[in-house]
Amino acid sequence: MATKLLALACIRKESYGDLSPRPHYPSMPKYPKGITAQETSLQGSEAKAMFSVMGMTCSACAGSVEKAVKRLPGIKEAVVDVLNNKAQVMFYPSFVNEESILEAIEDAGFQAALIQDETDDKFVQVCRIRINGMTCTSCSSTLENALQAVPGVQKVQVALATEEAQIHHDPKIITYNQLMQKIEETGFGAVLVSTGEDMSKINLRINGVRTVNSMRMLENSLQALPGVQAVQTSLELKKIAVSYKPDMTGPRNFIKVIDSTGSSRRFKATIYPEGEGAGRESHRKEEIKQYFRSFLWSLIFTTPVFLTSMVFMYIPGIKHGLDTKVVNMLTIGEVIRWVLSTPVQFIIGRRFYTGSYKALRHGSANMDVLIALGTNAAYFYSVYTVIRAASSPDFEGTDFFETSAMLISFILLGKYLEVLAKGKTSEAIAKLMNLAPETAILLSLDEEGNVISEEEIDSRLIQKNDIIKIIPGAKVASDGFVLWGQSHINESMITGEARPVAKRKGDTVIGGTVNENGVLHIKATKVGSESALAQIVRLVESAQMAKAPVQKFADRISKYFVPLVIMLSFSTWLAWFLAGKLHGYPESWIPSSMDSFELALQFGISVMVIACPCALGLATPTAVMVGTGVGASLGVLIKGGQALEGAHKVNCIVFDKTGTLTVGKPVVVNTRLLKNMVLHEFYELVAATEVNSEHPLAKAIIEYAKKFREDEENPAWPEARDFVSITGHGVKAIVRNKEVIVGNKSLMLEKNIVIPVDAQDMLTETESMAQTGILVSIDGEVTGVLAISDPVKPGAQEVISILKSMNVRSIMVTGDNWGTASSIASQIGIETVVAEAKPEQKAEKVKELQAEGYAVAMVGDGINDSPALVAADVGMAIGAGTDIAIEAADIVLMKSNLEDVITAIHLSRKTFSRIRLNYIWALGYNILGIPIAAGALFPSTGFRLPPWIAGAAMAASSVSVVCCSLLLKNYERPKKLENLEIGGIQIE
């Protein structure tokens, strides 16, 4: 509910053109510096332009775009609509044009295009595709650029760590099948994961289908059902994948249709077994198996090559046999090494040839190019020496077959270990998915609500409005509400809140939580992709797809890295070769088994293979994946790398009061009437006025008023006419022909209503007790004063103290009165207080703090806080409950407690320090390794790095980076939080 209110709070009363309203960013100059309004009018009339802005995920993004545009000279007004991905800009063409505005939006990190026809509102769909064959950031950048250039594609995110692409596209221009074809043309494998966030998807196995016609008949039968959006079939796998709208249909309907299709009813449908589908986990397992098989075969062939060149040459008897001449100077040892290394080079190492061919075909160079060049140089030079030895009676050369074979073996071992480790980075999502129970008990009810029958079904077959029985100890099978029964439910796996929550008729339940004692009958309301669990999984997946700004550093480096390494490698070879030919170093430096050319070649190959950009590309995404996964398990949902990067810099936090520092469930604790009237009638008028308000104080008054209507659970209050809500002040309405105004002191003064001395004294007394005083005026006279108390959250004082010890300044900004705000602030240790602040004033305060040099986080429950959440560097929404679809916040604190503010900042700092450490690992290998591989130590120490050891070091760099990120899984919250005992609060 809080998040819905948060979204509603973003809506402005004004409307600009065709745009949906959104919070207005704090005012900025309308004219260029030094230019007055009069001078502007002389320059020409204003113009209006509409832009499509892709890449915005929340109101914070919209705020960034608005800021970027308003910084330009000549901008009169800019309004950004995050829901429809649009921006409307009013500007003066004499100072700025559309192209400059487009550039400003793109500089802010978003994709923008000018909309020529405002009525042409494009429909954007999101599809997720798994990508096979990516090896480094060069691959992901190439694919991203290729897809971005496709007409109809609005936005592309390609994540190397998760090996997935998320594409926003217009299905009228390009379909997901065409996108997959484009990916395959770019040289990568493509497997569809999902085709839209508004759809659920089920995979069914069909027994009894033998022909293409039968499969087509089933496809047509399913396609005809209402709510079915897409059907994909595979005769080989005997599988049908159905994408559907859960509001309209469900998987049991599909099974029923399939089972009844055909004259002989030979078709039988079941849920496709997990692990056999195209899931990320099954693909990961298959990839691990492939690398392990390749490494084993490579080892079988490489071990004899290594032994014949490195070990047996020092055993006299065997050495004599290997040195036996076959033709001219060609020996048996050379023939054996040639024969054994060839399958390693061309069969087992085929993946590097195909990868480099695909990359070069699209004008980019990746890891495969470096490996292919290095191994080919060693292999074909060795072939040359062997052929020359066979055709010459006096040629003595050295082959490097062991270099190419061992290089490929070590790289395959490194990739195997890397994929193994990368699989562990996404364990958080796997754990979340496993929360859903495998089976559920479906109830059939008669018209009177009595249970007719029970049936155990697969939980994936649950449809909307099904009645499900939950027995003690079982997991709740679906989101819904309780129809019958009472129990306690442990929701810690979803919300992180350890205490069981009491549930009775009408209460909502979350799928995946555990029923502790009683039996419940629940009605399923959200199934499939709509469920809270699915939304959490999707949010975590989106977070892991999103790139942190620091990732741009790695992307920039990797763009030029491979060509630079090739040049360095060639320069190294050339320098050593020329130095040898020109006698630039003593001949004693050349090993007895080589000549100057071969020594130079080894140095060149070593440089080429040690400087791989893989580790650099994995440094940020793997840490973000693990960090966001750990956060999700602690009930802190971090929306990707950008939120992580922003949170680690935070040194000032602005807290809202109601629902954030306080419990958020205010109660009326005292009522004082100033006129003779019955309390029952007084509350009738007040409740009728407040019933249309969504404010927490209004709800508290209505709940208290119900006590005077004991016979009714949902009483009908008198009709209120001409209702007006005055934001930040109160409400006004006509009830029973009386003008009733309920609000604070400033509202009464604004309406020229005299506040008696008695009422003034009561307000002062109320505020000194950290309570909120509400005045009630009837027909222009103050009639009563209500005292409302909202208790401070347990542990708030300790949390503020811990933040102070972390060098984070805490500030309270509230719409409540000064007395109450100051009293609560002094209770919990906050020194700076801004009270009686309107929503836009909260945003102004955030801007002031940013201007002073602070990195500001805003923590609010979403009511009237959205402008400040937008303006802050990091927005934290507290009290999200089960509604995960938060728009304005960067971080969602699901447990609704203040401890998690500390957890979020502490975790982001730990994650970012791990990212820095990863960059040290990745760049350290290259900065130290390249000079050593190029022979920097050789003149003074005689030490050189053979190519196969350079290959092992390159593989180790990727593995060490991933393992460094995995250490984040051992993250522990600050010990001060563990010692902090936060008790419960009971409100009578």
Catalytic positions, please? Answer: 656
Residue-wise burial string across 907-925, b where 16 or more C-beta atoms lie within 10 A, e elsewhere: bbbbbbebbebbbebbbeb
Query: Which ranges in 770-889 belong to alpha helices (H)?
Result: 796-805, 818-828, 839-851, 866-871
Residue found under tokens 């005083």: 773
Two structure tokens written together for 40: 């502007």
Which amino acid, 86? Answer: K
Q: Where are the beta strands (DSSP E) in 614-701?
A: 636-638, 652-655, 667-673
Q: Measure the CA–CA gap between 560 and 580, rounded to whole angstroms.
A: 30
Q: At what angle do helices 401-425 and 332-343 cross, to 10 degrees?
A: 30
Nearest partner of 959 among 546, 428, 424, 564, judged by Cα = 424
Please, are residues 827 and 797 in contact by the beta-carbon 8 Å criterion? yes
Helix, strand and coil content of the chain, in percent to the nearest 5, comes to: 45, 20, 35
Please, are residues 334 and 344 in contact by the beta-carbon 8 Å criterion? no
Q: Measure the CA–CA gap between 459 and 476, rounded to whole angstroms.
A: 10
What phi and psi values does residue 136 have, to the nearest 5 degrees? -155, 180
CA distances from 851 to 304, 845, 856 (A): 68, 10, 10
Roughly how many angstroms between the first and final C-alpha of the chain, as a whole number? 23
Please, are residues 578 and 558 in contact by the beta-carbon 8 Å criterion? no
Ramachandran class of 79: left when φ > 0, alpha when ψ lies in -120 to 50, beta otherwise: beta
β pairing state of 520-526 and 467-470: antiparallel
Which amino acid, 216? Answer: R
Bridge partners for 77 per DSSP:
90
Q: Measure the CA–CA gap between 933 and 949, rounded to whole angstroms.
A: 10
Nearest partner of 600 among 575, 583, 568, judged by Cα = 575
R_g of the chain, CA atoms, integer Å = 34
Ramachandran class of 230: left when φ > 0, alpha when ψ lies in -120 to 50, beta otherwise: beta
Q: Name the DSSP class of 160.
A: T
Sign of CA dihedral 842, 843, 846, 847: negative
Q: Where are the beta strands (DSSP E) in 328-404?
A: 330-331
Q: Measure the CA–CA gap between 321 and 310, rounded to whole angstroms.
A: 15
CA distances from 916 to 160, 444, 550, 823, 910 (A): 18, 58, 10, 43, 10
Which amino acid, 773? Answer: G
CA distances from 129 to 118, 141, 311, 354 (A): 31, 16, 48, 21
DSSP 170-238: -TTT--HHHHHHHHHHTT-EEEEEES-TT-EEEEEEEES--SHHHHHHHHHHHHTSTTEEEEEEETTTT
Q: Name the DSSP class of 279.
A: -
Nearest partner of 630 among 976, 972, 962, judged by Cα = 972
CA distances from 621 to 60, 161, 425, 636, 641 (A): 22, 6, 10, 18, 8
Q: Which residues contact 279 (CB under 8 A, 6 or more apart)?
A: none
